[in-house]
Structure 1
């Protein structure tokens, strides 16, 4: 029986996708070196799906190990999650990001070519759009990443485009994520960054709610938005995971490179998200307004109609569910 390889499968998005693949009895193998995830996620994911997980603890840049794993495990396709994702860290240490995000993907492609595996689902990012020229953002929007992290995703997409031009038998789908938040309904897996590595808004909200941090930092309240804070397209992690499962079905029956925005199509301000979390948890968070971060844009939200029409995928969960599931995860894993 053939399997799917999930690189970086113990990360936030990878683990939730794995839970849905298991639910649908899809056989998978996780390839991860735990560089940005905790070993405890293995046990929590196994409890979530009710079975042992097959995994390989190895580096995405180790091409020979990848070839060995492909050869011995009857892999027929890959979901490539493995990457670093901190915008701030990428500005401080861009070479590290190019080595892992671009170099790691090249290593993976070499191993796939060597073992004749030609089906790849790639985790891209809305970061590659940069400062929007128009809204909502569709897949034809100009690409102009404004930080090294975004550049790595853009470079990989260009590599993949060149690859399918040169070798017509590849089937590659790239999903450009917007802003995933929330957690699995059982509350055992969620967005659980290593301590001190929290940059995303929801993990920061949780840390302040639990008293780990004294204040919630909001970067910029002088944008041209309804309340002065940045507008983003927040999507429930389980909706995003479902997009991967539906993209896999699509991947098996198409050729070339296909690109989809994965978002709700709705813009939510930072303060609206914070206020929703406060409402569902009956709490009040201490907020400090700080100056805008370099590289942040005022508005960024998707036009997801291509994914809706082609993949037959759409979001099902609202902002209340996103906040409540993130809260439940934080309580279940204190």
Structure 2
């Protein structure tokens, strides 16, 4: 298939492009601005990854987040007819729960970013119901590894601290908050599996997560893998902090997806090798 990929040069996008090529698909990189009307692309499918995605930033400028994440999706959909459409969304659309979250769990976005993604999800689902496209939404949990450079993410920040490229990190609360982590390569594989299962006129949603771990687990694993101490400043818990956000990915696994690189130690080791100073290989103890 010829597949238009928005955000193709980004962290997740680069991995998705490589995975598409491995499986014999032809990625087409989007150079059009999402804020402007799209020309109709001559493709079989679209994987829509381009988005504004900083949670804290979204509280400061919610209007621009809706403009980019909802308005951009709308502009893209207007140009489509008969294609498969895959939307990258987020696990933060869900109401927090101590139990693993399924695709039918209640949505209750906790930030303007998450709310804008929930609105985009609804938009593509209604477009699919009309028969205009085939829609698949992938709700990504905490993507990590692969040389990520966004040090607002906990694993990336902790590894950067160990590497000495950032001065330290702040942890709010006691470090027991649990999140679900998944390697970027496994995310890319999920998009290809979902692409091949998508059909015009249908709408599906899949969770993409693999390994639940607390912040303390992440810090301990980073120190074990790198042999270095992570400098942490412990801060009081932020009101409203979500204690647990874990994915039940059994629906995606039923399509044949299997995370192969998402054990916590493997994610950390891969990030360390990609970002540590020198040869790219971290020191041993």
| TM-score normalized by the length of structure 2 | 0.91
**Contact 1:262 1:302 (8 Å CA) reproduced:** yes
Of Structure 1 and Structure 2, which has the larger fraction of its residues in helix? 1
**Contact 2:2 2:44 (8 Å CA) reproduced:** yes
Please show how residues 146-161 of structure 1 align to structure 2 within 5 Å.
Answer: 146-161=110-125
Distance, in Å, in 2 between the alignment partners of 1:333 and 1:103 is 40
Partner of 1:267: helix, strand, or coil? Answer: strand
Distance, in Å, in 2 between the alignment partners of 1:170 and 1:125 is 21
Distance, in Å, in 1 between the alignment partners of 2:116 and 2:236 is 26
In the other structure, the counterpart of 1:256 is: 202
Cα 1:203/1:108, change in 2 over 3 Å: same
Point out where structure 1 has 5 or more consecutive residues left out of the alignment.
32-55, 184-189, 222-227
Partner of 2:115: helix, strand, or coil? Answer: helix
Distance, in Å, in 1 between the alignment partners of 2:134 and 2:153 is 32
Distance, in Å, in 2 between the alignment partners of 1:98 and 1:292 is 28
In the other structure, the counterpart of 1:182 is: 145
1:49-105: CA deviation from partner (whole Å, max 9, x where unpaired): xxxxxxx2x321221xx316x1xxx31110000101110000011111011011110
1:100 matched to 2:68? yes
1:273 matched to 2:218? yes
Partner of 1:96: helix, strand, or coil? Answer: helix
1:14-43: CA deviation from partner (whole Å, max 9, x where unpaired): 111111112223111122xxxxxxxxxxxx
Point out where structure 2 has 5 or more consecutive residues left out of the alignment.
none
1:202 matched to 2:165? no
- How many residues of Structure 1 are paired with residues of Structure 2 in the alignment? 278
Distance, in Å, in 1 between the alignment partners of 2:132 and 2:48 is 19
Distance, in Å, in 1 between the alignment partners of 2:128 and 2:21 is 30
Distance, in Å, in 2 between the alignment partners of 1:235 and 1:142 is 22
Partner of 1:75: helix, strand, or coil? Answer: coil
Distance, in Å, in 2 between the alignment partners of 1:168 and 1:294 is 43
In the other structure, the counterpart of 1:302 is: 247
Partner of 1:279: helix, strand, or coil? Answer: helix
**Contact 2:84 2:195 (8 Å CA) reproduced:** no
1:169: Cα distance to partner? Answer: 4.6
Please show how residues 1-334 of structure 1 align to structure 2 within 5 Å.
Answer: 3-31=2-30, 56=31, 58-63=32-37, 66-67=38-39, 70=41, 74-112=42-80, 116-132=81-97, 134-165=98-129, 167-183=130-146, 190-193=147-150, 198-221=151-174, 228-251=175-198, 253=199, 255-264=201-210, 266-309=211-254, 311-317=255-261, 318-331=263-276
| TM-score normalized by the length of structure 1 | 0.79
1:249: Cα distance to partner? Answer: 0.8
1:294: Cα distance to partner? Answer: 4.9
**Contact 2:176 2:214 (8 Å CA) reproduced:** yes
Distance, in Å, in 1 between the alignment partners of 2:240 and 2:92 is 10
1:191-245: CA deviation from partner (whole Å, max 9, x where unpaired): 123xxxx311122123322323322211211xxxxxx521011111111111011
1:102-139: CA deviation from partner (whole Å, max 9, x where unpaired): 11101111122xxx24310110110100322x511111
